Structure 1
Amino acid sequence: MASARRPHLCLGLRRRAVGARDNHRGWPLPQAGASWPLGGGALQALTPSPGHDTLPADCPYPVSHCSKGGDMVRTYRLGVIGFAHMHVNHLLDQFAKLPNVEWVACADTVPAVPSRSSLPGTRLFNLKRAQEVTGIPKVYEDYREMLEKERFDAIIFCPENARHGEVAEAVAEKGIHMLTEKPMAASLSEALRMARAVRANGVALMVNWPTTWSPAIRAMKRLIEEGVIGEVWEVKWRNGASMGPLSYSDPQPSDAEKGAEWWHQAAQGGGALLDYCCYGACLARWFIGERAVAAVGMRANLRSHYGDADDNAVITVRFPSALAVLEATWTTWNSGVPTGPIVYGSRWTLVTDQKVVEVY
């Protein structure tokens, strides 16, 4: 008879805000998601933390106003470009909690196919929410016109994945720092386009990876670094149960409404591979600590024929001393078993459900 599955060690983790520190000054980053600066450390400390409640004398950023005590405190003028990705809502909510943020204006990108729905998660819903909930006062039809007419310290942009390069380049050329949502881009060439733009203009680009804010994920990284499980030789990632990005509203959108959204359009960077395999790619690189040397993948549209983007995908990645298996799905009602990430080491194995980390 098989023995019962019992972990050697179980770490219960309560949900809490997890801080990160920028590598320029050590000031706290806003609690919007894990992000790493490509072009410098300028997008840091939208609000001072205890011990950093005034700006240092050599701070390179201009001061917008003074506090009651006369100390200089920075106010940041923020704007938004693109409401295609519903994660924009969470980013705006997090920045809206900060006391020194001034919302200036926003603009959506023009979709290749007009939206047919305004249900939660759609771009029409997201844009309306930015006005009514976040309170962004101005809405432009053209984001380039907005960049010409308004003054910003930073831009949050969440357009279609395939348009990240275009938007980042336009923002960088105006000397504005920026934050975007994962994945960084829909292709390597577009990601390199973004990197060149921010470096050429001396601005910061930050990419939000929500999983890396997870206390469970951070606990896994700590256990790996402490050598608890020995040498990592494989990382497995599969997103949890999901029926696609627009499947959680009530009422449900029709197939025609789903097909009109960029998520289900391959040319716009839609599909499950870019939506979910990117998480595993990020975590595998972080956990293993090496650059990948080879990868092979397969994707398919199995159940979502109202669009031409994939709804399931698998990538197998070779690192110098390890493997990674990355799976993405938009057609799974119930995952049945823990989907991880799961990290196999030479001594022990780590498994998490994003709430608890178990060591076997």
Structure 2
Amino acid sequence: MRIALLLLVLVLAFSSPNIAQTAKKPVRIGVAGLVHSHVGWILNRAKKTGDPDIEVVGIAEPNREVAERYMKRYGLPMSLVYSTLEEMLDKTRPDAVTAFNEISKHIDVVKVCAPRGIHVMVEKPLAVSLDQAKQMEALAKKHNIHLLTNYETTWYGSNHKAYQMAVKDGAIGPIRRIVVHDGHDGPSRMNKEFVAWLTDPVTNGAGALFDFGCYGANLATWLLKGQRPTSVSAFTLQIQPDTYPKVDDDATIVLVYPKTQVVIQPSWNWPFSRKDMEVYGATGYVFTLDGTKMRVRLKDDKTEQTTEAAKTDAPVSDPFDYLAQVVRGETKSVDDLSSLQVNMVVMEILDAARRSAKEGGKPITLK
């Protein structure tokens, strides 16, 4: 009788989705830095109680004033905050770390986390230089950790629906041209600690060229299945030199492939915020206007059609749910928008674009 009862309990435990779900522990997440304005994304998640996917266990931020301001804003205790990344890791033992510090310090996060076997997700772009990116890649491979890059546009259902149509279904024929627009009216109105490093070529790599150019490079590399351009040309402007004296605030990047051209237009001078994309094929096109809205015209369409993507068109709607899946081994990130493989190509593009812009738009050939 006891054996039969035990067997019944085991069967129920493994067959009941509710019991299986409660058995899954949330992934322990540490936060490195609070000086990136996108950090509110993870802090909003930190406020959730009983989150089944992630638990924010510690925050590393050396600037006490910044830490106190953010903890007050999001209703979080200062006991979460540590002055150094090393101390936070030793005290909290996270499974993964999300980096919301200066782009130039992403490499420092990886140097500390990788030897400890702690996975890392950085906010876009991966690094400030191709050399730093290569060092980070080597550390990730040596210590067998996931090194992911987060972009807001990765979680747009419209981009994934466009990928399905253009790449998987071939609904518009071979891709011939991609045009990506990203940016807003400038970061000068944002918090001071964010603007300080974002407008410095040492800590950000460039201005709008890196800040928003990375989105288009990421999407194009993904849509073209990891293909590297044969050449990269870039042209930058300083439309507001008094506001942004050290960096560009407007750019155009042209990527040339054997049978495709990509035009990326990042700017801090758009009249309104925008993150949209045009993908043209030999027989049709698909435009993404924002996270959901789309315009499409296929070969047999007499007029352009409007459509909307669902949230379910994206693999998940949140980068931290995705990070939890990756850490648990529930999904692979070999050739997706967040992957190291794709973002190493992104860094090649950005590095070449910066060199081209310095030489007046001279095409840089990728070896």
TM-score by length of 2: 0.67
Contact 1:297/1:314 (8 A) holds in 2: yes
In 2, Cα distance between equivalents of 1:103 and 1:223: 37
Q: 1:103 to 1:227 in 2, by over 3 A?
A: closer
In 1, Cα distance between equivalents of 2:56 and 2:293: 37
Cα deviation, residue 99, structure 1:
3.0
In 2, Cα distance between equivalents of 1:131 and 1:149: 22
In 2, Cα distance between equivalents of 1:142 and 1:339: 35
Give the corresponding residue for 2:259.
321
Q: 1:165 to 1:334 in 2, by over 3 A?
A: same
Q: 1:268 to 1:53 in 2, by over 3 A?
A: farther
Cα deviation, residue 278, structure 1:
0.6
- CA deviation digits over 1:84-119, x for unaligned, max 9? 221121133246542354332211267xxxx9xx8x
Give the corresponding residue for 2:55.
102
Does 1:128 find its partner at 2:128? no
Give the corresponding residue for 1:203.
145
Structure 1 unaligned blocks of 5 or more? 1-49, 56-66, 119-123
Does 1:261 find its partner at 2:196? yes
Residue from 232, 242, 246 that aligns with 2:175: 232
**Counterparts of 1:41-120 in structure 2 under 5 Å?**
54=20, 67=22, 72-94=23-45, 97=48, 98-99=51-52, 101-108=54-61
Q: What amino acid maps onto 2:116 in structure 1?
A: K
**How many residues are matched?**
274
Does 1:291 find its partner at 2:228? yes
In 1, Cα distance between equivalents of 2:124 and 2:113: 17
Secondary structure at 1:340 match in 2 = strand
Q: 1:134 to 1:73 in 2, by over 3 A?
A: farther
- CA deviation digits over 1:334-355, x for unaligned, max 9? 48xx973111111112222113
Q: What amino acid maps onto 1:176 in structure 2?
A: I
Cα deviation, residue 130, structure 1:
4.4
Contact 2:47/2:74 (8 A) holds in 1: no
Give the corresponding residue for 2:337.
none
Give the fraction of aligned pairs with identical amino acids, expressed as a percent: 27
Contact 2:188/2:243 (8 A) holds in 1: no
Structure 2 unaligned blocks of 5 or more? 1-15, 298-367
Contact 2:30/2:98 (8 A) holds in 1: yes
Secondary structure at 2:177 match in 1 = strand
Cα deviation, residue 157, structure 1:
0.9
Q: What amino acid maps onto 1:271 in structure 2?
A: G
Give the corresponding residue for 1:142.
84
In 1, Cα distance between equivalents of 2:122 and 2:213: 17
Q: Which has more helix, going by share of residues? A: 2
In 2, Cα distance between equivalents of 1:277 and 1:322: 18
TM-score by length of 1: 0.68
Give the corresponding residue for 1:8.
none
Contact 1:246/1:258 (8 A) holds in 2: no
Secondary structure at 1:268 match in 2 = helix
Give the corresponding residue for 1:340.
276
Q: 1:127 to 1:285 in 2, by over 3 A?
A: farther
Q: 1:78 to 1:259 in 2, by over 3 A?
A: closer
- CA deviation digits over 1:290-318, x for unaligned, max 9? 22221111223220434412211111111
Residue from 208, 217, 230 that aligns with 1:281: 217
In 1, Cα distance between equivalents of 2:90 and 2:266: 39
Contact 1:77/1:153 (8 A) holds in 2: yes
Cα deviation, residue 202, structure 1:
1.7
In 2, Cα distance between equivalents of 1:341 and 1:189: 29
Does 1:154 find its partner at 2:91? no
Cα deviation, residue 237, structure 1:
0.7
CA RMSD in angstroms, aligned pairs only: 2.9
